Chains A and B, each alone.
Chain A
Amino acid sequence: MRRIVLLAAALLGAATPLRADEAVTVPVQGRDAFSRPLPTLDPAHRAAFQAGRSLFQQVWTVGPSEVRPDLDGLGPLFNRQSCIACHAKNGRGEPPEGESDSMRSTLVRLSVPGGGAGAAPQPHPVYGDQFNPDGIPGVPGEGRATLVWSERVDRLADGTPVALRRPDLRLGNLGYGPLGPEVMTSVRMAPPLVGLGLLEAVPEADLLARADPDDRDGDGVRGRVNLVWDAARGAFAIGRFGLKANQPSLRQQNAGAFDGDLGLTSTLFPHHGCTAAQTACRAAAGEDAGDTKPELSDEQLDLVTLYTRALAVPARQNADDPMVRVGEGLFAAIGCAACHTPTLRTGPSPALPELAGRTIHPYTDLLLHDMGDGLADGRPDFQATGRQWRTPPLWGLGMTAVVTDRPAYLHDGRARSVLEAILWHGGEAEPAREAVRRMPLLNRKALLAFLESL
């Protein structure tokens, strides 16, 4: 009887379901839900999308290649050999299962203190700014990175147990000596890629308008933009990509991933990350001998950028289901929507005009928020502190379990379910988390049903 009352009360406040502009969503298509182009792409952009997809799926090779010189240049140090190795099906990555497993779609950022407030992270003097386990022949890899899991049981107010696991990073077989006590690390799992072009097309003014770094409205939710270096413009700009919003544009995000993850230079990042101590890396890179031609051409970078810019968002499922509608109301009522902003509107989009002027429902404000000690990595990144993360978009969330063999959530993949992910929220999100913890079972089911509908 109590359940009926609760549901009925909630139904009275049920939200009108939000559906994204049809021009930017595609009907759900099974495991390829994150791999379809925007339905409105013009023919030239569709062709470029397909060419970009080929490059995204391409395995890069150690040079020189007689057959495909356009695809060589891997390394000298690298994490993976293709984009898709981390971004399988354009969805979330998977963290290692344990100590005997390796990082495949997860990486480790490195830095040491210094650089000043608001500055880019100070790279580790020997290992650089990212741990690269592998090297091309003749270049020692930096070592082996994995995660060891520990688990504790959290109990909701109704007594329901939820197991929460936490990773401990293990870096072994170090190829260039000890990392030292000052090293700061941050484990990052590959995030899903849908809708990135739309997020890029949200005007900066809208992001600034939503920011409330001093909590002037007193709701306990702050939100600030990250100011990061825009290599193309040679100036600071608002960051919106990356788990700490440390990249200002998709093009730079992609060029940074080619550089950091695959070891491919570009006009945006023309130098390999070999440090002075990595002599074999420096020799293989050939930069000291004057070889500075970018390994990734501007055309290739543009094609991959168009591909990531034009990946459509899967349409919502079961949006009219009564439980889903109740959950949608609860999502707003308990404060989730304060950061996971349901609705944004894109502005002009000269890079891809098909994205301009759309009403979208990404469930992100693209701002940095303090997420508490539980999720803190302790590693500042420009203006993002060690406790802050950019609000991740939630669109496509419900398709994660379809697209990915082993769904994992949060920046390091620690959460095995959406509820587990919610329970890791802290800092500015603590009141919302506690509201979920206190929820009656039926309401919790409704909230999760809503999230599954995205």
Chain B
Amino acid sequence: MTGQPSFDAVVVGAGPAGMAAATELAARGASVLMVDRQASPGGQIYRGAVEPGHDAERLFGKSYMRGPALIAAFGRQSIETRWNASAVGVRDGFEVDVASPDRLERIACRILILATGAYERPLAIPGWTMPGVMTAGAAQLMAKQSRLVPSEPFVIAGAGPLIWLLAWQYAQMGARPEALVSLGDSKALRRALPHAFSFLGSDYAADAVKYLRTAYRSTPVVRARRLVRIEGDGRPTALIAETRTGRSVSIPARRVFLHNGVLPDANMTNALGCRLEWDEIRHSWQPTTDAWQRGDRDGLYVAGDGAGVDGAIAAEFSGRIAASDALVRLGRISQAERDTTAAPWIAERGRHLSGRPFIDTLFAPIEPSDDPDVPICRCENVSASRAADVIDDARGVGVPPGALVSHLKAISRCGMGPCQARMCGPSLARFLDTRYGVSAADAGKPSQRYPAAPMQLASLADLPLDGEAAP
């Protein structure tokens, strides 16, 4: 298309991986376009770090302060940006469709770096769709963005390091939950033990001790084996949990922050037709990447948590590593220069990968609720029992395992909503596995289509066709 905007590289995602990659590319003279759905850089982990405030380190920890430095370095480069924008489609070549709230642009590039980050695995329990129920990450984002903390009784519940981190951060803010409900089974520690040595040597270990100590000191910790339900009528009134000894406890709360681990947001990679592999330990679909973060298309890179949840620092280095290889592809540096420059980054990334296996094994995802009325799909309000009826019918007729997800989608609309199966996909995979013995690998990755995020029909209509002048 004549007059089509064209860049050496398009980077999707302005979290640590994306910012680091874009910065490295631009510093070597590559033309770079950064696309992010948020209004400013930082992704989720460094939300609010554009203007961190004098209290940021005290409230969020030392590691948060990498954010402002990354953002400043990013800002010093000459990088074109599209905020509140989504890359809604990609074609080989590459041609990237970027949808901003009021327009669609078709952008050519030679290098595409997907740094789309991660999101929290949904925890579908009765009452989880009530207003007032949010994710633990949402709590952090509100604090980082706006210094907002709950003013009513609240509870933090789930499994994963984030609940301990949030409790510690809230303690710094003087916000005290009614309880911290930690889900797990007694065998978890035994399972994770083989990885304990590398964990103990990692940065996580010191932080873990700090968070655990603060949490136990400042809030009642309930060790639970099941979250039974959130009670309430329009807003939560209490969280009911079953302790490890089988007792039922009711924790009064007007707000509930749930957490069930973190998954790569692989929708874009999937939409491109790239291979995803099911990771049984992490219970998530992972794009396949090599040591240089290359995906399975020439010129495509997948970096950061979007390639596998390894944390913010590993993400930053994976972005730099991807950029260094991309610079070779662009002819701006030689392979020898790449190897020399990237060597310390590769070492740093490796250092920050140790400790993850312990965490991944210790904090296994929570088993799905067996309540039939729980909505698995929020967008279309498809309950577990509805899903079961449709799947029973399909299996009874002989629909093969690999077709069950698309069958359920077509019949019940599960997965057809605007979230593009981000909320229901992981729960559905678990549901198929535990209830029908259909493993996630056999059920197959969810199908992903254009556009990767909803976009205005007018934007599509207003795009110039071949031969037309750009508006």
Tell me, yes or no, whether A binds B.
Answer: no
The residues of A with any CB-CB pair to B shorter than 8 Å are: none
